[in-house]
Structure 1
Amino acid sequence: MTFDVPAVDISPYVHPDAYGDADRAAVATAMDAVCATVGFVQVLGHGVPDEVIAGLAAASDAFFTLDADAKQAYQLPPSINRGYTPPKSESLSLSLGVESATKMNDFFEAFNVGTAASEFPGLGLPESDYSENVWPVEAASFRPGVEAYYREAGRVAHVLTRVFADALELAPDFFEQFTDHSLDVMRMNNYALPPGEIVLDGDLTGMGEHTDYGIVTVLWADQVAGLQVLGPDQVWHDVSPADGALLVNLGDLTAQWTNDRWRSTLHRVKPPIVGGTIRRRRSAAYFHDGNVDALIETIPTCVDDDHPAGYAPVTVGEHINAKLRGSRAGVLYTDSDRNAERVRSAAP
C-alpha cells in the first residue's frame, strides 16, 4: 500500500487579502480530507521566514553541543515541563498506556520552553502548568533564536485552527475561546547518539510510539531519516518534511473534539541510521494544546445517529497532565486503551 502525507498550501489563510473565499474553501476541503485519512500534513505557504528557521537551528546547536554538565544544570523535576531532558529519561509509549514500555529508553535529549503565567497577568493561571522558562546563559543566541521561532509557530497554529473551523463547518473564531491563553509548549529534540558506526541495544528507541496530546502540533525537522507514522494499513511508514514544509499533525484533543472524524495519528522516531551509521537529527515540535481550563466536548457537527459521542468531556489540563505523567514521570496512562491497542496490533 502506498502511504503519502499530502501537502496543503495555507497561503489563502496566511495572506487573506490576496485570495478569495473560494481559495480558502478549497484549502479547508483539502485539510478535512487529510485530517480524516492521514492525520499528518505537509503545510506549505506558512509564511515562517527562512532566517527564523535558521535561527532556531542555530539556537538548538548552541545548546545541545554544550558539555553534559552544562546541560544537566537545566534539568528540572518531571512535574515541570520546562528545561533539559537527558537521553533515556522518558518513555513516550507510557503516555499511551502500553504496559510493556516499562523502561525509560527513548534516547533523544530535549529542551522545553512554553507559555508562562506571567504573560497573562490577572488570569491567575496555575504556575504548575504555565511555568516560567529557564534560559541557558552559556548559549547567548539560544533565547532570541528560540523566541523568534516560537512566535511564528504559534501564529501558524492559530492559522491552522482557523482552517479547521472552516473544514468542520464551525464559526470562524470557534477555537479562539479555547486557545486565548493556550497551554503551548515547544520541545527541541536532539537525537544524541554520537556519529559513527554503532550497534544498538534492541530496546533503544529514538522516541517511542505516541500520539500528541493537544490540538495540533507544528513540527520543524531535519530531512534525516527517523520519523515514522503508523498508516491505516497498520504499517510504520517513513516520513520526512518536504522542501519548505512544516509537518503538522493532530493531537488527541482534536480527535476527541471531532469524535474520531479526524485522526490523532501514532508516530515514533527510530534511530537515524543511514548506510549503517548514525546521523544527527534535530527537530522542534510546537504543541498547541488549548487553555488549561477549557472543557473539550464533542463538536455537534461530528455527531449523528450513526456516530454518537464517544468521549466524555475533559478539560485540557486534566488530559495533558495525565499524559505527561506517563511520558515524563513513568506513570502508565490508563484513561483509554484505543491507542495502546493500535500499537500492539501494528506490524513490526
Structure 2
Amino acid sequence: MTFHVPSVDISAYVGDGSPEERAAVAAAIDHACRTVGFIQIHGHGIRAEIIDGLTEAIDAFFELDLDTKKTYRTPPEINRGYSPPKSESLSLSLGVESATRMNDFFEAFNVGATAADYPDSPDLPQPDYADNVWPDVPGFEQKVQTYFGEAARVARTMTSIFADALGLEPEFFAARTGHSLDVFRMNNYALPPGTDVTLDGDLTGMGEHTDYGIVTILWADQVRGLQVLGTDGTWNDVQPEEGALLINLGDVTARLTNERWMSTLHRVKPPVIGGTIERRRSAAFFHDGDVDAVIRTLPSCIDDEHPDLYEPVTVGEHIAAKLAGSRAGVRNITAERESARVLASQR
C-alpha cells in the first residue's frame, strides 16, 4: 500500500463557506484523521510575508554562536527558551527504554502562551504558563509573535472542523481551550561547530514520538527528514506541499476519540550529504488545551466493539509526564500504547 498524506483545502472554514462546503471539508478531515493522522492543509490564510518573517527570525537566532544561544536556556520543567543539541530525547516521552541518553541532535527555541495572555483566567499554575525568554535579536519577538497569533487562529479553525467532523457541539473544544497550553517550537537540524556526533545511518534528528495535545500546526521547509509511521509499521518520508501546512493529531485527541483518530508517530532523520547534515528547519505550534481540562473518552466513540481504552486525565497531568521524558530524561510509564507501536515498527 502506498503511503499518502491527504491534502485538504480548509478555506470554507477560514472564510464564509456554505454549509455544504464546510460539510465536505469536515468529511475529508474525518477521513484523514481515521486513516493517517497527518494532513496537508491549504487555504489556511497565513500570508506568505508572515511565514517569510518567521523564517528570517529562525535563521537570525540559530546563526548565533552556541555559547550565546545557551544563555537563553531554561530548566527542563520550564518549556521555554533554548534547547541545545543532544539535550532531549523525544522517544523517552513514550517510555521507550532503548533511548537511554539524551541524543536528539536538533536544537530548538520555545515560546508559549503566558498567564498574562489569559487575564480572564486568574491563578494559572506556573511553570505551565511561564513568561517567555526573548533573545536579543532584532525583530525576532515581533516576527515570532505575529506568526504565533496566526498559528493559534489556524489551530482553533481546525478544532472547529474537528467538532463538526465528530458530531460535537460547536463550542466543545472552545470550552476546553479558553486558557490553552499553547507552545511554539522552532527547530533547527544542523550541527554547530564542535558538536560531538557521529555521522552514521542511525543518526537521530528527533526521536520517535507522538505530539502531546489536541492538534499541531507544522511549518517545515522542503528538506527531507520528516518520517511518519504507517499502519503497516513502516516509516514514510513526508514533505510539505508548496504553500501547505502540515497538521497532525496529538494524544489528547486520540484519547478523546478512543483512537478512532490516532496521534501518529513521527520522527526526523535528516540526510547526511557529503559528510555533513543537510540543514532543515521547522516550526511547530502545539495547541494542547487547558491545563485543568479533564480529558474523557467521548461516549460516541465507545461501544461493544470499541471499549474505553483510557482513564480520565487532565491535560496538565498528561503533558507533565510527556515533558518529563523528553526534557528531563524520566521515562514515561503511562504511554504503553504508544511505546508498543514504536517497538513494533520496522525501524
1:140 — aligned with what? 138
Contact 2:199/2:272 (<8 A) preserved: no
Whether the aligned pair in 2 keeps the contact of 1:210 and 1:267 (CA below 8 Å) is yes
Amino acid at match of 2:318: H
- Aligned residue for 2:188? 190
Q: Distance in 1 between matches of 2:134 and 2:107?
A: 16
Equivalent residue number for residue 25 of structure 1:
23
Q: Runs in 1 of length 4+ with deviation above 2 angstroms? A: 201-204, 271-278
Report the count of equivalent residues.
343
Displacement after TM superposition at 1:279 (Å): 1.4
Encode CA deviations 1:126-181: one digit per residue, 9 max, x unaligned.
Answer: 121000001011x1111011000000000000000000000000111110010011
How much has 1:305 moved relative to structure 2?
Answer: 2.2
Shift of 1:210: 0.3
Give the SS at the match of 1:99.
Answer: coil
Residue 206 of structure 1 corresponds to which residue in structure 2? Answer: 205
Could you give the per-residue CA deviations for residues 78-136 of structure 1, whole angstroms, max 9, x where no partner exists? 01000000000000000001011011110000000000011223521012100000101
Q: What pairs up with 1:243-322 in 2 under 5 angstroms?
A: 243-274=242-273, 277-322=276-321
User: Once the two structures are aligned, what percentage of the paired residues are identical?
Assistant: 65
State the SS of the aligned residue for 1:219. strand
Does residue 6 of structure 1 match 2:1?
A: no
Q: What's 2:152 paired with?
A: 154
Conserved in 2, the CA contact under 8 Å of 1:88 and 1:105? yes
| Contact 1:81–1:112, Cα closer than 8 Å, also in 2 | yes
Paired with 1:128 and 1:93, the residues of 2 have a C-alpha distance of 23
1:228 Cα deviation after fit: 0.2
2: CA distance between counterparts of 1:283 and 1:75? 19
Q: Which amino acid aligns with 1:113?
A: V
Please give the residue correspondences for 1:335-346 in structure 2 after superposition, counting only pairs within 5 Å: 335-346=334-345
1:25/1:276 CA distance change after superposition, 3 Å: farther
Matches within 5 A, 1:37-186: 37-121=35-119, 122-137=121-136, 139-186=137-184
- Work out whether residues 190 and 277 of structure 2, in 8 Å CA contact, stay in contact via their aligned partners in 1: no
Q: Aligned residue for 2:239? A: 240
CA distance in 1, matches of 2:50, 2:147: 6
SS at match of 2:231: coil
Q: Distance in 2 between matches of 1:274 and 1:202?
A: 11
C-alpha distance after superposition, 1:303-347 (max 9, x if no partner)? 122212211000000000110000000000001311111111111
Q: Taking structure 2 as the reference length, what is the TM-score of the superposition?
A: 0.96
Structure 1: any 5+ residue segments left out of the alignment?
none
Mark the runs of 5 or more structure 2 residues left unpaired by the alignment.
none
* Structure 2 CA distance for aligned equivalents of residues 336 and 284 of structure 1: 25
Return 274-283 or 120-129, whichever deviates more: 274-283
Task: Provide TM-score, normalisation by structure 1.
Answer: 0.96
1:34 corresponds to which residue?
32
Give the aligned residue type for 2:45.
Answer: G
Q: Match of 1:61, as an amino acid?
A: D
**Distance in 2, Cα, partners of 1:67 & 1:128:** 28
The answer for the alignment partner of 2:217 in structure 1 is 218
* Cα distance, 1:301 vs structure 2: 1.7
Q: Distance in 2 between matches of 1:226 and 1:233?
A: 20
Q: Is the 8 A contact 1:116 1:127 kept in 2?
A: no
Q: Deviations over 1:40-90 (max 9, x none)?
A: 000110000000000000000110000111101000100100000000000
Distance (whole Å) between structure 1 residues aligned to residue 191 and residue 21 of structure 2: 45
SS in structure 2 of the partner of residue 289 of structure 1? strand
Instruction: Compute the RMSD of aligned alpha carbons.
Output: 1.4
TM-superposed CA distance for 1:277, in Å, is 4.7
1:199 & 1:104 partners in 2: Cα distance?
Answer: 14
Could you tell me how far apart the structure 2 residues matched to 1:8 and 1:202 are?
34
